[in-house]
Every structure is written in structure tokens, then in C-alpha cells.
A and B are shown apart, each in its own frame.
Chain A
């Protein structure tokens, strides 16, 4: 019940295309859902995050869509660029006094020039 399932494992997109990564969870106590971007040899960097009281959040080319009833959320990268090529992790945490993240397994995105 603590798992966060992420798909696909890898994704290849043409430059200018839309990249879509999906995550699903079971624990209804989760109330914070961040996405992290990780380049090889670097630490994960916070990209965008959402709480379940909104269905969508947009920051630049990055959008999170959240479906509370389905317990799913997704990251959309619009106008994907080669510089977006990285591994993306979704995560979830619950308001239990601590915000330890449960991470998805990661999606390796490659954007072709």
C-alpha cells in the first residue's frame, strides 16, 4: 500500500513532442505529490509538485495532472527538448508529521533532436 507505481520505465520522444509519465498510488493518506528530475551523476531536483485539492498544476512546460478518484497523477512535458533528457521520479508523502517520500521507480526520458 506504500508503493507508488510509475510507468513507462523508459520513453523516447521527438523534439517538440509531449512526454507523458504516469504514476499510481494506493495509500489515500498521501497528500503531497512531487516530481523530481535527475541527470546522470547528479542528485534529484524538485521539478513541480501538487496537492490533491487541485486537479492540475502548470509551471512553464511542465504540467501535473491529478485524478484523486483514480489515485493517479501524471507529468506532462510540453514541447520536449533534448535538454529534458533525464530520469524522472514521481513521489508521494503523507501528512503524518514527517514527509518521507515514497518514490516511483523512475522513467528514463530521451528526447531526440
Chain B
């Protein structure tokens, strides 16, 4: 158990809908990273937040957004969902902004029908 929690574990929704994925980092970690894992794209970095501020962006679609709250939990919002958004979404956390050791949560499996 990495200490990173993610909810929900599974999510099934229809195209065009909006969902919110939640992540709580390990105690003491200030950075949260979001990754998408799909069969054709592998593990792709989406976005990083450090202590409430956006720190880095990767291959995140404009339909996706994230935020980190004062209690350091983070939410990833996915809107106007498409079939191709079906994937595993992981968050990871690290102590600092330059988090060399990132600890991954168990993931949220999103299925868009």
C-alpha cells in the first residue's frame, strides 16, 4: 500500500458526460501528479500540482482539468467524455515539487460507453 488513495475505483459513464476523480496524497507529500494509462498510449503524464499550484502540464486535453485543494487532495475533472477517454487514471504523490520518488495510487478505471 503506497499511502495514496483514489476514488472511485471504477467509473462507468456515457459519452458527453462529466466525471470527477479524487486523489489523496501520502501524508506529508505536497505534490500530486496525474497519469493516464491506456493500452495504445501507455502511461502518460497529464498534470502536476504542488501545494495547490499547477506546476507542470503534459499531454492533458483541454476537456480535462485538475485542481489541488488546501488539504492537498486533488481532483481530476474530465468533461465531454469520448470513448477514447476510457483508461486507467492514476495519481501519484511526492514530497517536494521535484519529486524524484513518486508513489502511485491504485487508480480509477474509467469506462466510457
Contact = CB atoms under 8 A, between A and B. Distances in A.
Interface residues of B, number: 27
Interface in B48-85: 48, 50, 55-56, 58
Given A89-B43, A101-B45, A43 B98 contact: no
Summarize A's interface: helix, strand, loop or mixed. Answer: loop
Category for how many chain A residues contact B: 20 to 34
Nearest to B55: A98
28 contacts: A32-B100, A34-B101, A42-B106, A43-B2, A43-B4, A43-B104, A43-B105, A43-B107, A44-B43, A44-B90, A44-B104, A46-B103, A49-B100, A95-B98, A97-B56, A97-B97, A98-B48, A98-B97, A99-B94, A99-B98, A100-B45, A100-B48, A101-B33, A101-B43, A101-B45, A101-B102, A104-B42, A105-B42
Interface of B: 2, 4, 33, 35, 42-45, 48, 50, 55-56, 58, 90, 92, 94, 97-107
